[in-house]
Amino acid sequence: MKKIYLIRHCEAVGQEPDAELSIEGCRKAHELCEILKNKGIEYIVSSPYKRAVQSIEPFAVWSVLEIELDDRLREKKMAEGNLDRWMYKLKCSFDDLSIRYEGGETSEEVMTRGVQAIQETLKSDKDNIAVVTHGAIMTLILKHFDSSVGFSTWRNLQNPDIYILEFGEGESVELMRMFI
């Protein structure tokens, strides 16, 4: 059985790819390290966004593991520039995965690239893997495995948050949420 610890990054000071963790986010990154220490994690894959990498760095240093960057784990691009009624439109994009706003990605496209990244990590010889990403793509990855996941799941995520995906024989996948 393989386990993926699907982790949403800690609190950051912005949404840009180079946004760093806030002071609280840095504190939570160290708490995250303590939580992960006894999980037997052997491999780390992360979104290249700075806040994702900084969220797992304390654990990577402690465990002496490299952080492999995977651009497919980056956050969903909703639209080019600011989007009016952003929250409403995000909800709509979870209800209809094919919705595309100008210059953005569909949820279906984001789900596909996220699930591809997960499937690729499962091909490694490692059994316990940490995957660090962002809220919308994390929710869409979870939705791939459990159709009941959606906007309300996203809305209830914390920074950080952890879901454990246990892959059994065949195609069976069990989702569990760890509370921090």
- Whether residue 170 is predicted with pLDDT greater than 70 in this model: the reply is no
Of the pLDDT bands very low, low, confident and very high (cuts 50, 70, 90), residue 172 is low
Q: What pLDDT does residue 73 have?
A: 98
Q: How many distinct helices (H) and strands (E) make up the chain?
A: 6, 6
Average pLDDT, whole number, for the chain? 94
Mean pLDDT of 5-24: 96
pTM of the entire predicted model: 0.94
Q: Is the pLDDT of residue 122 over 90?
A: yes
pLDDT value at 171 more than 80: no
Confidence (pLDDT) at 162: 96
How far is the first Cα of the chain from the last one, in angstroms, to the nearest whole number? Answer: 24
Position 177 pLDDT exceeds 80: no
| Domains contained in the chain, CATH given | 6-76+115-135+169-178 (3.40.50.1240)
Q: Confidence class of residue 121 from pLDDT cuts 50, 70 and 90?
A: very high
Residue 179 has pLDDT above 80, yes or no: no
Select the more confidently predicted residue: 132 or 83. 132
Calpha distance 171→167 (Å, rounded): 7
3-state DSSP call for residue 59?
helix
Pair of tokens at residue 87: 């929250």
* Helix 86-95 vs helix 135-145: crossing angle, to nearest 10: 20
Query: Helices (DSSP H) in the chain: which residue ranges?
Result: 23-36, 50-63, 86-95, 107-122, 135-145, 151-155
Contacts of 129 by beta carbon, 8 Å cutoff, 6+ apart: 2, 3, 4, 5, 41, 42, 43, 44, 45, 121, 122
Residue range 144-159, pLDDT digits in tens: 999 999 999 999 999 9
Q: What is the pLDDT of residues 54-83, one digit of tens each?
A: 999 999 999 999 999 999 999 999 999 888
Report the distance separating Cα 168 and Cα 72, nearest Å. 24
The pLDDT score that the predictor gives to residue 83 is: 85
